[in-house]
Structures are given as C-alpha cells and as structure tokens.
Structure 1
Amino acid sequence: MSNYQSIFDVQKEFFFTDGTKTYEWRIDQLNRLEKMLVENQEAFCRALKQDFNKPPFEQLFEITVPLGNIKYYKANLRKLMEPEPVAIPEGLEKTGNKGIIYKEPFGVTLVIGPFNAPVLLLLDPAIAALAAGNPVILKPANTTPTVAALFAELIPRYFEPQAVNVVTGGREEITELLKLPFDFIFFTGSSSVGKVIMRAAAENLTPVILELGGQNPTVVDETANLDIAVDRIAWGHNAISGQWCIAPGYVYVHESIASQFIDKLKKSTLKMYGEDPQQSPDFARMISEHDTERVASYIIPEKVVLGGRYDIKARYVEPTILYPSTWEDPALQQEIFGPVLPVMVYADFKEMVDIIKRKPKSLAAYIFSKNQKNIDHFLNSVSFGGGCINQTNLHCWIDSLPFGGVGYSGMGKYYGKAGFDALSNTKAMLIGNPDLELDVFPPYANKDIAKNLSIFG
C-alpha cells in the first residue's frame, strides 16, 4: 500500500464518522487556514519572491484574496448549510408534502494547484472544499519548490491529517495520486494536463472542476476610453509576467484608432515597468528556462513595436507588443502564457466577433466600449467563462461572481456560494405526508388513477 493510499484512507475513515458535516468542524478548518496565512504572511511572500521574483503587490494579493474568501464563508456558512425549501406541484403541497434540497459534502477531495498563483489558486479551492465539509489533500506545484516546501512544513502544524494533508512532488506523484478513488478532484492548470486529470477521474467516475486556460480575446472599439483601456490591458497582460490564465491573450482594435491605441499602450507599459523592465521590482520572472524559450519563440522581430528582448538563463522576457499581428503568427496558435501581446486590427465589428466565436472557448474575455449595441452583441455571440466590460482580470476575485471556464477552458464554477454549491452534492428530497392515502398501485382495475395522479400536476 502506497503512502498516498494511507493518507487517503485516514481521511476517508474520518469522513465516514460524519465529523466533517458539522458547522463547528468547518469553521474550525477555516479558522486554522486563516491563522496559518496571517501568522506566516512574510514567509509566503519570501517564498513567492524566491520562486519567480513576484513583486510585493502580487505577493500580498496571494494572501489577501484567500483571506477575503475565508471571511465570506465564515460570515455565510450557516445560511449556505441550511436545507433549502423549494416549490413542488400545488397538489402535493396542499396534501402536506414538502420539497427540500440538502447540501452534503462529496468526501475526500484532491486539490492540484498551479505555479502562477501557487498560494492563492491552491487555497481558494481548498477553502470552498472545507466550507462544504470535505477533507482535502493538497498538491502544490512542483515548479514553485519554495512555496511547496513551505506548505509541506505548515500544513501538519496547523491541521490534523484527517482534515487537511499535503503531497509534494511532480508528475510521478500526481500519477500515483490519481489512481486513488477520490470523491472530488479540483485541478487548476493547462488544458493538456486537464485532459489527463479527466481521464483518470473517469476511472472512478469522480466529479471534477477543471480551471484551465485559453487565448483570451480583448476587444477595443472606436468608442473606448483609450487611456483607461491601455492601463488595464497593460497591467492585466503583464502581471505575473503574463503567466495568468485570465490575462488578455490578444487584442482586436478598430482600425480608426489602432495607431493611437498602440502609442498609448506603449507609453502605459513603459510607465509601469520602465525602459529596462528587467530591473523593475514590479515585474516577475518566467517560471522556467523552458517556458522562457517557448515564449521568446513567439516574438517576430519585424512586428515588435515595444520590447522584444529576453534572457533565457535569467528566465526573463521583456513586455512585448507585436503589431500588426495575424492569426498565422506563432503567438496566436496557442495560449501564450507570457508577456508577449499580439494586437490585430478589425474593420467590421460583427465580422471580427464571428472570427472570435469560432476559436476555442476561452476562460476570459474583455471588451472596452461605450457602445451598448457592440457590448450586447459581443456578450450574446461569444461563449467564454467570464470577463469584464471596460476592465480586465478582476472579475475572478469577487465572491458573488462564479469563476470558471467553458469547453476547452474548463468546466465547473467556484467562488462564494457557487464554490460551496460546486463542492457539495445536491440531495433533493420529497418529504411525504405520512398520513396521506394515495392509491396508485396495482391492481388498477376500477380505480380512478387520473384523480390520484392529479396531485402531481
């Protein structure tokens, strides 16, 4: 029996005691997680800095967002756990029957986190799972080894192993973990690995949430406030050195404002990161030399209007704008996941939207416009996980907005109530009147079946 099997068995046996289903257990786990984050904030920030030079704002972001998520669940947990009365056919209701929806935890949950937000995107799914009453096994990204080691040190200090445990390692460890019959799997990462997770989950018919990625479209029409648009696009694309699953992946800008947009976007990027972004304290590094080389290969020198420099050994790619780009360019053949931004020009709004809608469905999409007809047409025509109008990126940290992908960019939503519901099995119950006489059973001869069945209508 593998060590992972024993970890799983301990959590499974504890789950069978029904101990995780109480309000007190769930609140205790949330309090423990909150305490771990608050007491070790500096250690987490140092680890994020060590692994890929995350700037201070991005470090704190990884701590404050989970703390806000914990705050939401602590304030709303009793209400979320309450059985929910629902309407049933009038005839049944009048005869003393009731419809109730109960929410119960699935059971032992595996949470596999990504490298780009290795604290936040590991803990936010875990927070939803614990609030819903599920024991959790955490698998932090092996490509952020300092953060992973910190989790391995802290989790046993703050949690009982039957409630929360952690497994570190890479592909071999994940392969072994996926052989176990988990009750739920939550994965954040690439679409290619998402397919592997889904195939493994199918062996045990394990439900999954897959938070993946894709090439997120950003549209800037001729009515947009360009000063607002360029700042939000430059930050949204280049934060975490572009390694953000919801980052603007490419921009379509109307031909009448394209030159003006490019000039302003260049100035905004320079304002944020300076003439030499490699020296900027606010610009992160790529996660690996391999990924640095991959992203650098998308740079077409003759299309570079800003940036273009890179240093493989230093894991650095300069914030780069490619213009004018086309769908044949290397940067538009897949998710870039780096600080290289292709900009394309369009003339006809509906034709441009028709092109976007035929691409793989993205995790996010953004439009900058004051034209409500354009906005409505974009939202109605293009399928994507979620996004913003006249803003980028921030939609995914608001607990009232369910976050997740669609199609190639993932499945399932979480955050806030949506997260609690996603990590809970919906148990629908009809509570019958124990004294109601209802004869709809054989033999049917000489019975007014229609009258008896009328209560269901």
Structure 2
Amino acid sequence: MAQNDIPIVEYTPLSDIPTILQDVRATFKSGLTKSLSYRKEQLKGLHNMIAENEDLFREASFLDLRKPPQELFLGETGIIKHECVEAIKNLDRWASPEKVKVSLINKFDDIHIRKDPVGVVLIIGTWNYPVNLLLIPAIGAIAAGNTVILKPSEVSPHVAKLVTELLPKYLDQRSYRIVNGAVPHTSALLDLKFDHIFYTGSGNVGKIIMAAAAKQLTPVTLELGGKSPAFVAKDGNINTIARRLAIGKFFNSGQTCIAPDYVIVERGVENELVKEMKKTLLEFYGAAPQTSPSYGRIVSKGHFHRLVQGLKNTQGEVVIGGDSQEDDLFIAPTLVLNVKPDDSLMQDEIFGPILPIMVVDSMEDGVDYVNSKDQPLALYIFSGNKKLVNHILDNTRSGSAVVNETMVQFTITTLPFGGTGPSGIGSYHGKKSFDTFSHERSTVIKSLGMERFNTVRYPPYSEKKIGWLDWLLYSKVKYAPNAANPGASKANL
C-alpha cells in the first residue's frame, strides 16, 4: 500500500507553476481550442488514453486503494469513456448558438446565446476516485473549448504518476498540463488567477478554495459531501434493501462521497435489516472479507486511525464486523445498531466502511433529524409507499435523491451531479459539464436599417412613445373583475 511519504510521483517545482499557467493562457488567447474539430480530437485522445491503458489503471488503482477491477470500471474508467463519446457525439449541438424568444420590436434581428469558453480552468482532483474525479470535469472543460491545468491528488500517488506519464502522449500539452504536489502546490495555484476552479473534496478545504477564488473573483464549482441518509420504511422488501444498501455503502470500502452515511430505519424492522445485511455481506465478501478480491482498503493510515477511533467512541452496538488491521489498512464491513444523534459516528461524514443505524418511531422523526443537519450530497429512500416517498422528498433538501437504490445517480450522465449548500456549489456530468465551463454570452445583432422604428426610443420623449414601446416590447395581461371581491382584479394570462 502506497503511503504519502513515498516519492512515487515527482512533484512539480513550485517555481514552474506560474510559467505553466502563462503557457496555457497564451494557448487560449491564440484561439487554438476554439475549433470544435480540435476539441473532438482531444476528447478522442482522452478516451483512448483510458481505453488503451486499462491494465495500467487497474494496477495503479490497486496499489493506491486495492480497488477491485469491477469497481474501477463501474466507478471510473467506464464512465469516463462513456462521457467522452457522448461529448464528441453531441458537441456540435451543445456549442450551437441558442435562439431565444423576443418581443415584436426585435423580431427581425439575430438574437441568441453564444456558448463561449470561460478561459483557463483549474481542476483539483481527489483520492477516492482519482481517475474519475480528475478527468470527468476535464471532459466538460475540453468540450467547452478551455485550456486546463489538472492537479491530481497526492494521496493516490500511483494514479497521479500514471496520468502524468500518459496525458502528454494523448493530449496537446500546449493546452492541457498537470501540476503534481501537496498543499504548497495547491496554495501556489490558488494564488494565481484562473477563469474557473473546479474542486472535489472536503468541505473544510472547499472553504479555503472559495476564499482564495473570491480574492480573484473567480467562479468555482465545489463538489463536497456530507452525511447522506438512507431512509428504510417498514413496507420495503428488506432482503432487496439490504443488498442495495450494502453495495452503496461498501463499494470502494465506503470511501465515496455519495455513499449512504447512515440509515434511518422504522422501529420494528431493524433486526430483520441487520439479519439480511449479514447474509448479504457473507454473499458479497465471504466469511473473511480481508481475503476477498472484491473488497478494497482504506487509503492511508491517517484515514484508518480516524475511522477506528470513531468506532471505538461509538455508544451503539457493533452487530456486524468491527475488526481491523492497521498493517493492511483493512477495516471490515461494519454495522452499528441503535446509534443516537449525539453519537461519535453521527457528527462528521464517515467516509469508510462503517454504517450506523438509527432507529426511529416514524419516518417523520427521521425527516426532522435530517432537516436539523446540513443538506447532504445525496439522500436515499427505501419504500414502496409513494405518498411517504413524496412526503420525504417534499420536506427535505439534498444534492440528489434516489428511491429504492443507491449511488446510481452518479452513473446517469444526463442528470446533473452536484450538492446544495454545504454539500457543494454547482453541478456537472454530460451537457451540464459543458455548460459549467461555458459562458452564456447574450448576443444581439441588429441591422442598421429600419431606423424609423427606433424613433420611439429616442428623445424627445412623449406619452405616445411610451404607449408604442409598451406595445412593441412587453407581454400583456388582461384583467377581469373578480366577482367575489369587486375591489380586486383577476389576471387572464
């Protein structure tokens, strides 16, 4: 297992960072990335970088996270290839000027929204999905015509090293560069002026990113996290629920920003849920999960100790798992029953293979609890009762919501992915990624002819001209008397 103090990937000299930015900004100003054919070629290169090096990505991900090949494909390489293909297929349509409805006075003019690139983009990746969370945003930035600096996570150094070696072979280095390093390198980047910053990671670091960006008035997209709840109602099929909860929670050893962070279960089915989870985990990982090739590892000793400490401090009952081994960075799939709101496991995002279960007398109690906390990145509901499902959806807030499944929203690229409030700012995936890195430039192209119609805008002003402008420019509402209240009027739109 790779540790952060092993110099696996060579860090970029700090003195080189301003020059790298100057180079890619000069490329952007040259107009090279404006061409749609150029963008498509770069997207093909990114696709081929993944497709032609699957074995190398498997090896690097295994060294960093002991990530099983199927989890790498489902959570990272497969979706990257898919997004590249979709961007190439749809780029002409996405980049086309968008016509808008106009008032009568502008009917004969060319009025539209241009889709312009924002400029130079900084993308700061993270370690839990080190390929996906670095390159999926890059797809949108490339498709939109920007130049890009990518900062891989130093916590997953084997993947960072591999991407650093491969990227120059597949993408134009005039437009797309990598900066490797730790906190000083990120700080050095944030001291510079970018046109957009995209960051995935913790809320605490997100605040630092946003504060630095504010000094430059740079827009940001922040993909953060939070404690994503899973509601389990009495009416659900507990066997199916157990399987879908387990795959969502223990995929990537729980190190997923949209993993169910805790379960809110209606009293009366908690024991059945635990029973079915035991069966499911035995089926998924066997009697000894540490030997299972389908189960990963914690990324570092720091994260390992944080998780173990949280488990030691819990007042709940460990009903499944609980064992760990530091040398192997292994923590077993763990369930903790009857946790209370003030429990150590209910304070911060767990980000590991520990699933607390809070038992409530009603789903309304669960809704009240969720609403007492920050808005999560995801929210899950397991129930066949449409009325209950809609009640929970109508009375909670979250970045995304999924009913009777977990984590699938991340793989549906036609859905925008992002948080709300403390769980994030902005969204991406598919066309939304293109939009995130584009400036919608309002454009009006008028003729120098037909000047006679413009005289109503010019001095000297008069009431008659106001009447003409009202007719030419604005939509109308007709008002009819309100029989129940003669003093009021009823609008007919």
Structure 1 length normalisation: TM-score?
0.97
Instruction: Name the stretch that deviates more: 263-272 or 68-77.
Output: 263-272
CA distance 1:446–1:406, shift in 2 (3 Å): closer
**1:124 matches 2:144:** no
Report how far residue 455 of structure 1 moved: 1.4
**1:451 matches 2:465:** no
User: Quick one: which amino acid aligns to residue 372 of structure 2?
Assistant: R
Match for residue 306 of structure 2 among 273, 280, 294 = 294
CA RMSD of aligned residues (A): 1.5
Q: Helix, strand or coil for the counterpart of 1:156?
A: helix
Which residue matches 2:427?
413
CA distance in 2, matches of 1:139, 1:375: 40
Report how far residue 427 of structure 1 moved: 0.9
Larger radius of gyration: 2
Which residue matches 1:51?
64
Which residue matches 2:21?
8
Match for residue 442 of structure 2 among 407, 414, 428 = 428
Q: Is the 8 A contact 1:88 1:98 kept in 2?
A: no
CA distance in 1, matches of 2:470, 2:30: 41
Which residue matches 2:318?
304
Cα deviation digits, residues 114-154 of structure 1 (max 9, x gap): 10000011110001110111111111110111111111111
Report how far residue 454 of structure 1 moved: 2.9
Q: Is the 8 A contact 1:385 1:404 kept in 2?
A: yes
Q: Is the 8 A contact 2:200 2:224 kept in 1?
A: yes
**1:87 matches 2:104:** no
Which residue matches 1:441?
458
Report how far residue 18 of structure 1 moved: 1.7
CA distance in 2, matches of 1:407, 1:398: 22
Alignment of 1:53-452 (within 5 A): 53-61=66-74, 62-89=76-103, 91-94=104-107, 96-299=108-311, 300=314, 303-436=317-450, 437-439=453-455, 440-444=457-461, 448-452=465-469
Q: Helix, strand or coil for the counterpart of 2:368?
A: helix
Report how far residue 358 of structure 1 moved: 2.1
CA distance in 2, matches of 1:286, 1:264: 25
Q: Is the 8 A contact 1:387 1:393 kept in 2?
A: no
User: Quick one: which amino acid aligns to residue 56 of structure 1?
Assistant: P
CA distance in 2, matches of 1:317, 1:235: 16
Q: Helix, strand or coil for the counterpart of 2:126?
A: coil
Q: Helix, strand or coil for the counterpart of 1:7?
A: helix
CA distance in 1, matches of 2:348, 2:100: 45
Q: Is the 8 A contact 2:376 2:419 kept in 1?
A: yes
Q: Is the 8 A contact 1:185 1:209 kept in 2?
A: yes
Report how far residue 98 of structure 1 moved: 4.3
Structure 2 length normalisation: TM-score?
0.90
Which residue matches 1:42?
55
Report how far residue 236 of structure 1 moved: 0.5
Cα deviation digits, residues 395-426 of structure 1 (max 9, x gap): 11111110000011101011111111111111
CA distance in 1, matches of 2:296, 2:352: 10
Instruction: Name the stretch that deviates more: 64-73 or 52-61.
Output: 52-61
Cα deviation digits, residues 208-267 of structure 1 (max 9, x gap): 110000000000101112121110111110111110000000001111211111111121
Q: Is the 8 A contact 1:301 1:308 kept in 2?
A: no
CA distance 1:442–1:355, shift in 2 (3 Å): same
Report how far residue 322 of structure 1 moved: 0.3
CA distance in 2, matches of 1:9, 1:367: 48
Q: Is the 8 A contact 1:186 1:209 kept in 2?
A: yes
Instruction: Name the stretch that deviates more: 447-456 or 422-431.
Output: 447-456
Structure 1 runs of 4+ off > 6 angstroms? Answer: none
Count the aligned residue pairs: 455
Gaps of 5+ in 1: none
User: Quick one: which amino acid aligns to residue 302 of structure 2?
Assistant: H
Q: Helix, strand or coil for the counterpart of 2:310?
A: coil
Report how far residue 92 of structure 1 moved: 2.5
User: Quick one: which amino acid aligns to residue 424 of structure 2?
Assistant: G
